[in-house]
Structures are given as C-alpha cells and as structure tokens.
Amino acid sequence: MTDPHHFHTALAALDLPAAWQMDVTIRPRRRTAAIQIHPGGTVVILVPPTAEPDDIARFVDRHRHRISEHVHTTTRLASNHAVKDFVDGEEFDLLGRSYRLRLVTTPPPGVDQLPAITADGVLYARTQRPELVRRAVIGLYRQVGLAWLRREGRRYEVDGRIIGLTYAVRDLGRRRWGIYTSPSVHTTTLHWAAFGLPTKLIEYVLVHEQAHATQPGGPAHGRAWQRQMNQWMPDWRQRQTELAEVGRHAWLGGWNRSS
Ligand SMILES: [Zn+2]
C-alpha cells in the first residue's frame, strides 16, 4: 500500500491555493478516487489502495475549479458578513477607498445631488429612515460600480475581441460576485457588493467574467478559459483564494434594524 506522504508530495507539485487544507485518506475498498469538502474548507481526497500519486495529482488538478467553488461555498457557510448602521460615522468601502457616512438634509456646497462621495472621504446621504438610506447607498454602489465596469471592462473587450458586450450591476445574492450571461444576452454582471471589495479583487471578478465573454470554448472553467485568465491576470488563482477569504466578511447589504 502506498504511503499518504507520496500523495502529498505529488499534490504539492500542483501549487494548490495555500488556503486549502489537503488531506489524503487511503480507502482499501475504493476503486476510484473521490473528493470530499468538509465544513471549514478541509479537502479530503479518498484514494483507492492501487492508485498512483501522479494519477491522484492529475485527478485533483482536473477538479481544481470545482474544489475551489466548493471550498468557497463551505467557507461562506461559516461566513460572518459585515452589518452596517446607517448613522453618522459608519464606514463604507467603495472602489478601494473608505468613506464615512454623513447624513444631511441638503447637499453640502460642491455636491449636486444625494447620495454622493467626495474626495475627502465622506459619503453624503439624505437624512431619512435607515432602510431608505441603505437603499440610497446601495444605489450609489450600483451607479459608481457600473461606471467603473464600463471603463475597466473595455480593454478586455478590445484585447479579447469581444463584440457587443453590455454591463450590469445588481444584487446577485450571497453566492456569486459576478456572472456572464451568454451568448444571446452577452452581458457581464457584477454584484453591487463586489465594489466594496479591495480593488484587486474587483478586478479579478471582472476579468473572470470577461474571460467567459470571449467564449473560449470547452468547459466553463476549462483549459481555454484558464489560458485567457493566465494571459490577462497571471496571479488570478491567488486573487481567487483571497476573494474566498475576504468575501466571507464583505458587506452584502446587511444592516442593524434596531439602530
Ligand atoms: Zn466562472
């Protein structure tokens, strides 16, 4: 019987995300390998006694994206999303900058309409019921996010020969940051909450969907798609891992109703 150590050595050569806690268990009765993702994100590879370490490494490599998505989901189950109070001084991150909320009855000098963000790090919103302030702030994320998306998405359209792509920003729930809808709709959509992430992670979500928009052929996250990702964002795997971690604490619109 093979020593699990040999499997770990073969897996180490894959350069898997550091956040994955890999475990190999040899199962005498198994004929095929299988993957289990445990709560908290431990990845257990169940290995038949006859398997070769290289075969198992190839097997894991083939399922890399699926593992990544499952780890993402299970760690999200243990997520601890930010909750906001819509009162003066509450902090909001938008496109890599931090803003303090200030509730006002009229726009301050130099501000045309509410809500608005200013260069000195203030998010101005009209004084009203918290659920309405929340709605206005999310509306601002959508508006600022869509402008960013159209501007930043353009270079990938040109480079990837993507024709006629449209963009949208909306609420995508708790499980996805972006989605490319193909091919008749041909739209790259980002979650409004993605714009509260660090900029390098917003970029990852955008590039991930733009790579789909090139319609590379093959499986959704197959070789052709990965080739495009490697070309556009050589460190995309690292950002993907970081997103799984940072995303657990991101603000998805939650608020403190008692305030
Ligand atoms: Zn995808």
Residue 86 inside a domain? The answer is: no
Q: Which residue has the higher pLDDT, 18 or 23?
A: 23
Domain span holding position 55: 4-77
Asked whether residue 243 is assigned to any structural domain, the reply reads: yes
Residue 224, beta-bridge partner list: none
Q: Which tokens is 194 given? A: 């993605």
**pTM of the predicted model over 0.85:** no
Taking residue 68's Cβ as centre, other Cβ atoms within 10 Å add up to 20
Query: What is the CA(21)–ligand 1 centre distance, in A?
Result: 23
**Are both 221 and 138 inside the same structural domain?**
yes
What's the CA-to-centroid distance between 20 and ligand 1, angstroms? 19
* CA 8 / ligand 1 centre spacing (Å): 28
Other C-beta atoms within 10 Å of 186: how many?
15
Supply angle C-alpha 149, 150, 155, rounded to 5.
95
* 186 CA distance to ligand 1 middle (Å): 14
211: domain CATH number is 3.30.2010.10
Lowest mean pLDDT among 45-49, 56-60, 79-83, 102-106: 79-83
Q: Give the model confidence (pLDDT) of 199-239 as tens digits.
A: 999 999 999 999 999 999 888 899 999 999 999 999 999 99
Residue 60: the pLDDT is 94
CA distance from start to end of the chain = 62
Last residue of one domain, picked from the residues 77, 103, 121: 77
Per-residue confidence at 178, pLDDT binned at 50, 70, 90? very high
Q: How far is the CA of 212 from the centre of ligand 1 (A)?
A: 7
How many angstroms from the chain centroid is the CA of residue 94?
15
Answer yes or no: is 115 within a domain: no
Instruction: Spell out the residues 6+ positions from residue 102 whose beta carbon is closer than 8 angstroms to its own.
Output: 88, 89, 122, 123, 124, 125
Predicted pLDDT at 143: 98
Q: Which of 14, 45, 77 is the last residue of a domain?
A: 77
Distance 40 CA to ligand 1 centre (A): 22
Does residue 232 sit within a domain?
yes
Q: Is 191 a domain residue?
A: yes
Question: Quick one: pLDDT at residue 70?
Answer: 84
**141-168 pLDDT per residue, tens:** 999 999 999 999 999 999 999 999 999 9
Residue 163 lies in a domain: yes
**64/142 same-domain check:** no
Domain membership flag for residue 198: yes
Total domains present in the chain? 2
